[in-house]
Structure 1
């Protein structure tokens, strides 16, 4: 048998192949005999290949009609499937049109349903508003502030639901009066809770004010309560100045009335610049303590309340601060101090008389 592999190569060279086959012959065989055998093998292999091709071609020719029939049947199936799909698409378009009409009708029905529900809820709010208005005085009389806040919040909700209806104008005014009334009832208790650092009470009162939309009242009362001790810290300088002045005048009178040669010391006047750092230290300590308490009592509001307190503090002592600074700067030169005092006295007197003074 011959190896047919070399014959399938694109670079097949007959001469090289024959030479190669001749080199593989047995040394005892003659070249002629080897070539005759090789020729016979080639002829036999060629006949086998031809016979195989003929057989396979016949088989292929037998399968062609069958494949043709399969193709025709597949084409008929495709045509049938296309017709079926067209019919389905047509049905879908018809169903889509009818569904769209049905959906539009359902949407209208749903809109009517929603409007009816809204009307029913509004009617309930109106009925509830009337009932709340008739019983709110009893709630206030009970002294239950959280319940009163809840009642007023429900009234506010009902009023927002019914809108601007003339029949409820009196109830709207009544609600505003009641909210102010509840606010005024909360304020004394809130003042006590803030002054004595009662966390639970302060939180409950905050909830009442928030429920009726009066956070500004909480902010205002918080600032008012804590501004008093801060103003007291600031006014401590003037108090000490008056005390020193009174002591100096008393010592002066005692010195004049005493015998000759006897000496009484006079207390020195406190410097504003010497006192100011101590004020800052006490203020920062107070604010730090209040910050810690406020974080516990009002965890949602401390970031607003403390800056508001500091702002109001600066507004309250602003003019006095400027006056003290100006006066303290004048302390550096006695003549400047005397001139500043004289101008203030003149301006104070003439402003009372309504006379304007132009100064250089």
Structure 2
């Protein structure tokens, strides 16, 4: 019979229950007294084995105690030695910290002096270079090498900024301003020709010269000036057609042509003409956007929108006047007087004249036409600077501002 020792390790172990359980597990044919004697013998043998094992392990443990004690003593001595070493090191660090701080402060002062001496040396070099550049700049201009002239003026500007407001260089400062204006005036006709004839290489060269001398505004002004002329011609087309019809009408009257023919010649719808004007203007701006994207890859996002802003500002007064007349044409009474909403609001019409629904419908139609153009501009200038883009959209609707206040 095997003895299960796990039951003895249970905290709720009950000897009576264990004996009863052992008796119930005996074979029915085995006598009870013999079964109990066998069980007692096995328990005694197991107990003796456990006692022998415990005694053996205890003896071995006692042998290890002195060794462990020696290890603990050795570790304690090592710890004390390490603490002493660390204390000595900390003391040395504190002493070194004081001397290092003084050394660092001294080095900082030396470095400051060194940097000041280098700055003074560089300033002296700039002053010497400025004098030399001032004496040779006329020769550079005489050579006709515009990029070299721009580089020379840029170097002079750099040297002047380095030496500061020194009274001895005041004349050179004035000389530089005159030379920059002079170079700008030389670049103007070449840039105008390059923009007018789409000479990319020349335009880029002139751009580089102007940027080198800090004249980006000059580039913007020349670009706008060159391209504003064809836009003005597009806008003046309406007046030219009106004048041509007027001449034709006078000739028709002289030749006694029919009234229907005469009326047909004089009929020009500003609303339909405005649509064609917007189409041609949009096509022109698209072409400029593509060309500038190639010729001026860093500036096209501002150059073309600013061109539109300037164009709408230039024709704004005339635009508003034509809108007013077109609105007046919607009603026979105001058409006969060549007057519109603005004139009615200002009291320029006979007493009793008032704004009618047809006036407003004509204004809405023109505004919708402008709205379609604005949406096309929004698509074209999608990559433009946000602020410039907003200014361009405001410029498109600028002619309607006087009507919004009515």
- Indicate the residue corresponding to 1:134 in structure 2: 135
Deviation at 1:69, TM superposition (A): 3.4
- Among 322, 325, 335, the residue aligned to 1:324: 322
Residue 313 (str. 1) matches residue 318 (str. 2): no
C-alpha distance after superposition, 1:241-278 (max 9, x if no partner)? 222222222332344xxxxxx96953621423342222
Residue 164 (str. 1) matches residue 161 (str. 2): no
* 1:91-170 aligned within 5 A: 91-170=92-171
- Indicate the residue corresponding to 2:239 in structure 1: 238
Residue 285 (str. 1) matches residue 277 (str. 2): no
Deviating more after overlay: 265-274 vs 205-214: 265-274
Deviation at 1:27, TM superposition (A): 6.7
Return the TM-score normalized by structure 2.
Answer: 0.76
Cα distance in 1 for residues equivalent to 2:44 and 2:238: 134
- Indicate the residue corresponding to 1:353 in structure 2: none
Deviation at 1:329, TM superposition (A): 2.9
Deviation at 1:40, TM superposition (A): 3.3
- Indicate the residue corresponding to 1:268 in structure 2: 265
Moved over 6 A (4+): none
Deviation at 1:125, TM superposition (A): 0.8
Deviation at 1:306, TM superposition (A): 1.1
Q: CA RMSD in A?
A: 2.7
Cα distance in 2 for residues equivalent to 1:334 and 1:56: 127
- Indicate the residue corresponding to 1:75 in structure 2: 76
* 1:165-244 aligned within 5 A: 165-244=166-245
In structure 1, list runs of 5 or more residues that go unmatched. Answer: 256-261, 342-356
Cα distance in 2 for residues equivalent to 1:115 and 1:102: 20
- In 2 relative to 1, CA 281–45 (structure 1 residues): closer, same or farther, beyond 3 Å? closer
C-alpha distance after superposition, 1:17-46 (max 9, x if no partner)? 334444565677543344334333333443
Cα distance in 2 for residues equivalent to 1:230 and 1:245: 24
- Indicate the residue corresponding to 1:87 in structure 2: 88
C-alpha distance after superposition, 1:304-355 (max 9, x if no partner)? 11111111111111111122222333334454345457xxxxxxxxxxxxxx
- In 2 relative to 1, CA 143–9 (structure 1 residues): closer, same or farther, beyond 3 Å? same
Cα distance in 2 for residues equivalent to 1:28 and 1:316: 129
- In the comparison of the two structures, how many residue pairs are matched? 339
